[in-house]
Amino acid sequence: MVISEELEARLQRYSESFTNDDVVRLHERTPQDWNRAGIEAMAKQLDDARVINSRGVLRFHGTGVDGHRASLSSIGLIADAWQRSVTAVGAAMEGVKSARGQVPGIITARTALMLEAAPVPGSVLFNIVPRGDALEEIEPDGDRPLADEWRERPLVDRASEKVVSLLTDMTHVELDATDQLAHALGDLGARVGASLSHLAGSIAKSGIALDSAWQEPEHETVRSRVTPEQARWISDFISQRKLYREEETVTGYLRTISFDDKWRIVLDDGKELRLDASDVPESVAKQQNLDNRVAMTVEITHSIRSDGGQSSAHKLLHVEPAPASAEESTES
């Protein structure tokens, strides 16, 4: 899928505004990284580097920040969107990619972050740390693998690193790599698309630039920077590629058929859906009968409102008769 000319022009402007040196700076080690590596090496000699907590940094700056003060509501929206993105990516890594329903509690617990805040001249700095204990997750019985490479990394580390890396990829993508980027995001599922869109929208609306970093013991620090202008492009890119949408086939009974209003269907599990059927041809609609059991291909668009609430819109793409349910077959 080709992106729009307007989106392509904006990407071209971004590409001209950064150099390879900008990308290199995001990946090169800082004096703090070298110092951290030394401390971790000492801890590993004495016991285990994993006794040191992972930690991340969210630095808010730009026109939306006055000295080291910023709108509490704007900062809160971005922080909440960050947690949602980490949890969504963590869920995708554990195989939960659909945005329907809630993320399992065990995944939410494993990706939960805690806040340590401090003001820095010209910006506001949030230090974030995992809520859970890394060793309890990767060594639940206290048994350490013979080789460190056999030990799985904590989910919060893998998810946080991925969110930072995705932001870097999206802010430095070349035009000929947009399809590859969309495919990588699509593989993570609609929940990740909706969460990253919400994060980008929160940054764009606030006028606050976000620098982020994640430090995990014995791993390189990953960093990203997203300006409000870049965030608007990310939000539009996700929207144009429909990365917060997913298709699903459902079966149930038609309760309402309309040419100018939503259709209503009661699913086999008793839940009710209201569907936008504006793309269904009138000839197809006329073939349907109330209370018939049908199979529908539905496009679900997921979004996160500014108040943090989640919503889903359902659009009917295809409808066809469905065989009788097992219960109906038994009765007949």
Each domain of the chain, given as residue ranges in start order, spans: 5-243, 246-331
Above 90 in pLDDT, residue 233? yes
Bridge-partner residues for 120, per DSSP? 123
More confident residue, 19 or 130: 130
| Amino acid 24: pLDDT | 46
More confident residue, 57 or 139: 57
| Amino acid 67: pLDDT | 83
What is the mean pLDDT of the segment spanning 70-94? 94
More confident residue, 48 or 324: 324
What is the mean pLDDT of the segment spanning 275-282? 91
Burial readout 73-103 (b: 16 or more C-beta within 10 A, e: otherwise): ebbebbbbbbbbbbbbbbbbbbebbebeeeb
Bridge-partner residues for 119, per DSSP? 124
Specify the long-range contacts of residues 38-45, CB closer than 8 Å, at least 24 apart. Answer: 40/217, 40/218, 43/217, 44/218
Residue 297 C-alpha from the chain's centroid:
24
Distances (CA, A) of 43 to 50, 60, 142, 163: 8, 32, 18, 28
- Domain 246-331 in CATH 2.60.120.460? The answer is no
